[in-house]
């Protein structure tokens, strides 16, 4: 059914080409390589980078387009998922229609095109979340969502691949910036202060909490603000810390909303190790029941009301930022951590609170985990 719909709007030859490219081998790159290669954005290096992306991006995009056609439980046929699949097929077609990159003018034109592709895919996460909601509405309410392993595994692969595609495009586009921020090589910061990023992410999360509840717990950050990390992507770290702090704020706020006691502060500790930088976010929001812990990294579970019931027109608007509800924040944050060799762990004490441990690899030489 889904494949039939694809051929209605896309030619048979394009679909065949997608399947051919989807069988090709992907090439992973490391953070260290991205930084060393991008540290000299000469015309020659940008040309080589453009030529690499011209071949690599169609392979990665074709793999996702193929997978979107054959998802279990009829997920492929949901309107939101069909829309996402069309975005991937459009992007594949654009990339394959672009002739070879032989000189600087070709490379600049290619850069403009992949920048547009990145914008086209801005709303993939909420659109896929909407597709999953469409699936859930038609499912037996007795189904245990965390048992739907195939969907969770697909979404892990899909979002990990998306992180990689957006990182490669964003890094290449940013290397064209004539006035890069200090200490930045494309997206990568060579002197990033984890404490500073944690402060900014905490302020953003607290502002949302204040907007939704009218008040917000305090946040205390412990760590040396002068300590800098030689290789990391600040936007990735901001996203992860923002998500963890947002969850903690919501838990504490809701636990103490009708209490006479002052809500205890959320504590963020930044520790510098030889292999890892670890950021711990601790709250006293009552914790998570042990039976609920396996669910927190699944894509079909959230303890909050789903914002997608209110915001279903995702055609043009960028991702809606709400306090909670997609059920996607934690699993996607863990993928961002793992993309560069780190991890995210949650330890909870029911009746007291939750500790989240975000591990960031300092080595920067692990290859992308290519799904």
- Report the 10 Å Cβ neighbour count for 142: 5
For the residues of 188-246, what is the DSSP string, one character each? Answer: EESSB-HHHHHHHHHHHHHHHHHHHHS----EEEES-TT--BSSB-HHHHHHHHHHHHH
Q: Kindly report, residue by residue over 64-100, the tens digit of the pLDDT.
A: 999 999 998 889 999 999 999 999 999 999 999 999 9
Q: Under DSSP, is residue 344 helix (H, G, I), strand (E, B) or coil?
A: strand
State how far the Cα of 207 lies from the Cα of 211, in Å rounded to an integer.
Answer: 6
**pLDDT mean over 187-209:** 95
Q: How confident is the model at residue 112 (pLDDT cuts 50, 70, 90)?
A: very high
Contacts of 74 (CB under 8 A, 6+ apart): 135, 138
Q: Which two tokens stand for residue 196?
A: 């500073």
Alpha helix ranges (H) inside the chain = 2-9, 12-22, 31-38, 43-68, 79-97, 104-120, 124-137, 149-174, 194-213, 234-256, 329-339
- Taking the alpha carbons at both ends of the chain, their separation in whole angstroms is 25
Positive/negative CA dihedral, 69, 298, 312, 125? negative
Q: Which two tokens stand for residue 240?
A: 């992860």
Q: Select from 204, 192, 207, 332 the least CA-distant residue to 270.
A: 192
Q: Give the number of residues written for the chain.
A: 371
pTM of this structure: 0.88
pLDDT tops 90 at residue 256: yes
Q: Kindly report, residue by residue over 10-52, the tens digit of the pLDDT.
A: 889 999 999 999 999 999 988 888 888 888 888 999 999 999 9
For the purposes of burial, counting CB atoms within 10 Å of the CB of 89, is it exposed (0-12), middle (13-18) or buried (19 or more)? buried
Which is more confident, 162 or 1? Answer: 162
| Cβ(275)–Cβ(338) below 8 Å | no
Which is more confident, 96 or 369? Answer: 96
State how far the Cα of 176 lies from the Cα of 182, in Å rounded to an integer.
Answer: 15
pLDDT tops 60 at residue 2: no
Least confident of 9-13, 67-71, 210-214, 224-228: 9-13
- Report the 10 Å Cβ neighbour count for 363: 15
| Cβ(158)–Cβ(132) below 8 Å | no
State the Rg of the chain over Cα.
21
Q: Which residue has the tokens 């998306």?
A: 162
């Amino acid at each position: 059914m889904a494949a039939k719909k694809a051929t209605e709007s896309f030619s048979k030859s394009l679909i065949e080409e997608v399947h051919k490219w989807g069988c090709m081998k992907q090439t992973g790159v490391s953070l260290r390589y991205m930084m060393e290669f991008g540290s000299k954005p000469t015309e020659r290096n940008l040309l080589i980078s453009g030529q690499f992306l011209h071949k690599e991006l169609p392979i990665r995009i074709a793999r996702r387009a193929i997978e979107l056609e054959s998802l279990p439980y009829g997920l492929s046929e949901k309107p939101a998922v069909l829309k996402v699949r069309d975005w991937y097929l459009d992007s594949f077609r654009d990339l394959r229609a672009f002739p070879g990159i032989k000189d600087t003018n070709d490379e600049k034109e290619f850069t403009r095109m992949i920048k547009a592709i990145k914008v086209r895919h801005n709303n993939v996460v909420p659109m896929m979340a909407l597709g999953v909601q469409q699936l859930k509405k038609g499912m037996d309410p007795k189904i245990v969502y965390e048992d739907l392993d195939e969907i969770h595994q697909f979404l892990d692969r899909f979002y990990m691949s998306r992180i990689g595609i957006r990182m490669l495009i964003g890094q290449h586009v940013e290397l064209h910036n004539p006035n890069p921020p200090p200490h930045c090589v494309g997206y990568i910061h060579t002197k990033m202060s984890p404490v500073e990023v944690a402060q900014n992410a905490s302020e953003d999360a607290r502002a949302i909490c204040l907007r939704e509840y009218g008040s917000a717990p305090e946040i205390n950050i412990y760590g040396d603000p002068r300590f800098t990390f030689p290789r990391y992507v600040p936007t990735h770290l901001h996203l992860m810390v923002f998500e963890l702090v947002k969850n903690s704020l919501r838990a504490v706020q809701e636990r103490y909303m009708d209490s006479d006691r002052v809500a205890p502060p959320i504590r963020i500790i930044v520790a510098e190790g030889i292999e890892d930088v670890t950021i711990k976010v601790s709250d006293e929001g009552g914790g998570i029941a042990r039976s609920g812990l396996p669910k927190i990294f699944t894509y079909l579970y959230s303890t909050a009301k789903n914002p997608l019931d209110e915001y279903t027109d995702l055609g043009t608007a960028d991702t809606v930022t709400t306090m909670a509800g997609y059920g996607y924040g934690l699993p996607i944050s863990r993928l961002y951590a793992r993309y560069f060799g780190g991890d995210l762990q949650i330890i909870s004490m029911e009746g007291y609170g939750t500790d989240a441990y975000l591990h960031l690899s300092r080595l920067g030489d692990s290859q992308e985990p290519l799904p």
